[in-house]
Every structure is written in structure tokens, then in C-alpha cells.
């Protein structure tokens, strides 16, 4: 492991290109096509559940695991695993009336910096065979 400086401030993380945006609780504006596309792109990167309100009034809570970006909102799809029913759903961007980041962001606080700190603590304690193991999601 090198002695490379690990960023400890958001501005340092940003300079290195790996800022983790805190989106928990965010309800983006859907005034323009561009705002819809940006919000759904951020939703794809979010590691928690979302609540999507369709123009029909139906609300779907679940995890957005994939998206297909087309030339228009009509041919762009969000692929959701609903929380309360089995299977997966495809939702056209053009059918989305609102979006809320309602679930806990499971990636929050799980930065590379935090992993390096734990690694160094284990190494200093004399542990061997220290690997990159995923932490429980709670």
C-alpha cells in the first residue's frame, strides 16, 4: 500500500473525481426534459430506494437498477425492482411525474478513505490476509 494522500475533504474528493453526492430526501424539479434526464441519471447512481410517481398517479417504490437512454423521453426507460412486488418494471421517462430519493443511501459513508483507515488499523494491529471485503448493508 502506498503512502498516497487520501482526501479528507469533499473538495479534495471532487478534485480526484469521486465525490459521493448526498441525495437522500431530495425531490428534484421536473420542469424541463433536461431536469428529468439529470434526475433519473442521478437516481441510477443512487444506492437506495426511490419513490416514482407516474403521471397516472400510481406510486412505485423500489430500486432503479438500469436505464436505457433514448433520443426522447418516450424512448428512454428506467428499469425498477419494486419493493412491494416481485419482478421488474420498465417505466418510460415520459410517464414519470415526480421522483423522490426516499430510501437510505447504502453507499453513504462507505468511501475509499474509510476503507483505507480500517485497513491501516487492522495492519497496525498485526492482522494479516486483510482483504477488500464488503460491509453488511444493514
| Amino acid 30: pLDDT | 75
Query: Is 122 part of any domain?
Result: no
Q: Which residues pair with 66 in a beta bridge?
A: 79
| Amino acid 134: pLDDT | 60
Domain count, the chain: 1
| Amino acid 31: pLDDT | 75
Query: Is 106 part of any domain?
Result: no
CATH number, domain with residue 49: 2.30.30.100
Query: Is 35 part of any domain?
Result: yes
Q: What is the pLDDT of residues 26-43, one digit of tens each?
A: 667 777 888 999 999 988
Query: Is 126 part of any domain?
Result: no
Query: Is 11 part of any domain?
Result: no
Query: Is 60 part of any domain?
Result: yes
Mean pLDDT of 101-113: 72
Tell me the percentage of the chain whose pLDDT exceeds 70.
Answer: 67
Show the domain range for 79.
21-100
Query: Is 113 part of any domain?
Result: no
> Model's pTM, two decimal places?
0.62
Residue 113 burial (CB < 10 Å; 0-12/13-18/19+)? middle
Contacts of 73 (CB under 8 A, 6+ apart): 33, 36, 37, 92, 93, 94
Q: In terms of pLDDT, which residue wins out, 56 or 108?
A: 56
Q: What is the largest CA-CA distance in the chain?
A: 59
* Residue 55 predicted with pLDDT over 80: yes
Amino acid at each position: 500500500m502506498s503512502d498516497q494522500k487520501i482526501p479528507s475533504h469533499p473538495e479534495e474528493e471532487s478534485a480526484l473525481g469521486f465525490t459521493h453526492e448526498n441525495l437522500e430526501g431530495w425531490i428534484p424539479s421536473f420542469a424541463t426534459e433536461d431536469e428529468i434526464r439529470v434526475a433519473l441519471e442521478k437516481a441510477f447512481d443512487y444506492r437506495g430506494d426511490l419513490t416514482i410517481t407516474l403521471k397516472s398517479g400510481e406510486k412505485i417504490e423500489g430500486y432503479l437498477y438500469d436505464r436505457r437512454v433514448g433520443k426522447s423521453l418516450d424512448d428512454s426507460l428506467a428499469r425498477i425492482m419494486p419493493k412491494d412486488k416481485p419482478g421488474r418494471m420498465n417505466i418510460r421517462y415520459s410517464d414519470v411525474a415526480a421522483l423522490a430519493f426516499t430510501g437510505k443511501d447504502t453507499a453513504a459513508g462507505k468511501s475509499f478513505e474509510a476503507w483505507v483507515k480500517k485497513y491501516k488499523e487492522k495492519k497496525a494491529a498485526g492482522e494479516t490476509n486483510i482483504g477488500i471485503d464488503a460491509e453488511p448493508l444493514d
